[in-house]
């Protein structure tokens, strides 16, 4: 599936999951749909027949509350039956609200407590380098999540150990759970900050597949890489875009059908 088709499918799957489960975080998943689609279509090396294949790249969703986007990408990439997506958040389902490696093939590590996924990713990248492996490690982290002190410890560690096999993508949608990032804790100039911490950093449009693809292919001789991706929370559904309540709220039937029509008319090829 090409990245545009996958991004559309991810948006449709996420809407269906939020509607059926009455679960949270639909806007958080929609903001990363394009990044996740390009990763799974064009960048990550993986083998759905053997999710623990040694040759695989590692991908971690540090903002684990947006798990529905990754569950969709995994199902559409052959890791499990897409019908299982309909059980998201239900009692007994393998698909918990926040991503879990215990039950879902293709998930490297459970996340949800913000600030940990990036540090685990740095540890994985360090271990791969020590063992002279070529695999790359990619982590998506929220801009609100960058308020966590552990994110900056990860930055120091990654630069110190020249983790050039390690790429973090900051989903800069300018919102967190309870407000705008700038009103909760000002943490601006993320590209410049990561540069000062020793990363090769760049800023892109996080919904342009060309820019996402190009930035994910960037390498460095001796530095970890930081991509600050400017995104829109709720991207693709007009009434969810930049409206904080869709961090937690789920769509009713009418809203679901309207949202689906919008996504299909905007993104279906
Ligand atoms: C350690 C920790 N503190 C608080 C929360 C509650 N929480 C869940 S999502 C969220 C906002 C995260 O904001 P951001 O990283 O910008 O994610 P996005 O808004 O893009 O989904 C918070 C505070 C959490 N999951 N973990």
Does 60 sit in the ligand 1 pocket, CB within 6 Å?
A: no
Residues 45, 97, 262: CA angle, nearest 5 degrees: 80
- Between strands 166-172 and 225-230, the pairing is parallel
Does 171 sit in the ligand 1 pocket, CB within 6 Å?
A: yes
Looking at residues 242-248, what average pLDDT do you find?
A: 97
Looking at residues 91-118, what average pLDDT do you find?
A: 95
Mean pLDDT taken over the chain: 97
Burial of 94 (0-12, 13-18, 19+ CB in 10 A): middle
Looking at residues 66-75, what average pLDDT do you find?
A: 98
User: At 269, is the pLDDT very low, low, confident or very high (cuts 50, 70, 90)?
Assistant: low
User: At 266, is the pLDDT very low, low, confident or very high (cuts 50, 70, 90)?
Assistant: confident
Give the span between the Cα atoms of 166 and 199, in whole angstroms: 10
User: At 251, is the pLDDT very low, low, confident or very high (cuts 50, 70, 90)?
Assistant: very high
CA-to-CA dists, residue 93 to 15, 25, 86, 96, 215, angstroms? 18, 18, 9, 7, 35
For 136, other C-beta atoms within 10 Å of its C-beta total 21
The pLDDT tens digits of the residues spanning 79-100 come to: 999 999 999 999 999 999 999 9
Question: Is the pTM here over 0.85, yes or no?
Answer: yes
Looking at residues 203-222, what average pLDDT do you find?
A: 98
Give the span between the Cα atoms of 196 and 108, in whole angstroms: 29
Total structural domains in the chain?
Answer: 1
The pLDDT tens digits of the residues spanning 36-61 come to: 999 999 999 999 999 999 999 999 99
53 alpha carbon to ligand 1 midpoint, in Å?
A: 31
31 alpha carbon to ligand 1 midpoint, in Å?
A: 14
Give the span between the Cα atoms of 115 and 118, in whole angstroms: 6
The contacts of residue 155 (CB under 8 Å, 6+ apart) are: 194, 197, 198, 199
**So what's the pLDDT on residue 243?**
97
Distance, CA of 46 to chain centre: 16
Does 235 sit in the ligand 1 pocket, CB within 6 Å?
A: no
**Most ligand 1 atoms within 8 A of CB, residue of 144, 172, 231, 235 to mutate:** 144
Phi and psi, residue 58, nearest 5°: -105, 135
Ligand 1 atom closest to the Cα of residue 112 is 25
The pLDDT tens digits of the residues spanning 124-140 come to: 999 999 999 999 999 99
Q: Which CATH number does the domain housing residue 70 bear?
A: 3.40.50.970
Length of the chain: 269
Does 65 sit in the ligand 1 pocket, CB within 6 Å?
A: yes
The pLDDT tens digits of the residues spanning 147-166 come to: 999 999 999 999 999 999 99
Q: Which helix (H) or strand (E) holds 176?
A: strand 175-176
User: At 267, is the pLDDT very low, low, confident or very high (cuts 50, 70, 90)?
Assistant: confident
Domain that holds residue 231: 3-267
Instruction: At 37, list the tokens.
Output: 């689609």
More confident residue, 102 or 144: 144
β partners of residue 180: 175
Phi and psi, residue 179, nearest 5°: 165, -175
| pLDDT at residue 268 greater than cutoff 80 | no
31-69 burial: b if 16+ Cβ within 10 Å, else e:
bbbbbbbbbbbebbebeeeebeeeebbbbbbbbbbbbbb
């Amino acid at each position: 599936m090409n990245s545009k088709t996958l991004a559309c499918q991810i948006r449709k799957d996420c809407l269906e999951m939020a509607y059926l489960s009455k679960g949270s975080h639909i806007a958080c998943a929609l903001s990363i749909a394009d990044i996740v689609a390009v990763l799974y279509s064009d960048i990550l090396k993986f083998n759905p027949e053997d999710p623990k294949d040694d040759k695989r790249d590692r991908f971690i969703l540090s903002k684990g509350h947006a798990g529905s986007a990754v569950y969709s990408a995994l199902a559409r990439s052959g890791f499990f039956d897409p019908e299982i997506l309909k059980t998201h958040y239900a009692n007994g389902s393998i698909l918990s609200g926040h991503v879990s490696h215990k039950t879902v093939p293709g998930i490297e590590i459970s996340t949800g407590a913000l600030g940990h996924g990036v540090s685990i990713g740095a540890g994985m990248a360090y271990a791969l380098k020590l063992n002279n492996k070529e695999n790359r490690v990619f982590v998506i982290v929220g801009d609100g999540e960058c308020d966590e002190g552990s994110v900056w410890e990860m930055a120091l560690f990654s630069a110190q150990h020249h983790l050039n096999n390690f790429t973090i993508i900051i989903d800069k949608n300018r919102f967190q759970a309870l407000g705008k990032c700038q009103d909760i804790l000002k943490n601006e100039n993320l590209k410049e900050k990561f540069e000062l911490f020793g990363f090769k950093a760049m800023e892109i449009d996080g919904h342009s597949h060309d820019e996402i693809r190009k930035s994910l292919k960037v390498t460095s001789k001796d530095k970890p890489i930081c991509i600050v991706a400017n995104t829109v929370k709720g991207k693709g559904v007009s009434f969810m875009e930049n409206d904080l309540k869709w961090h937690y709220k789920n769509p009713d039937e009418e809203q679901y059908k309207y949202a689906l029509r919008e996504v299909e008319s905007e993104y279906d090829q």
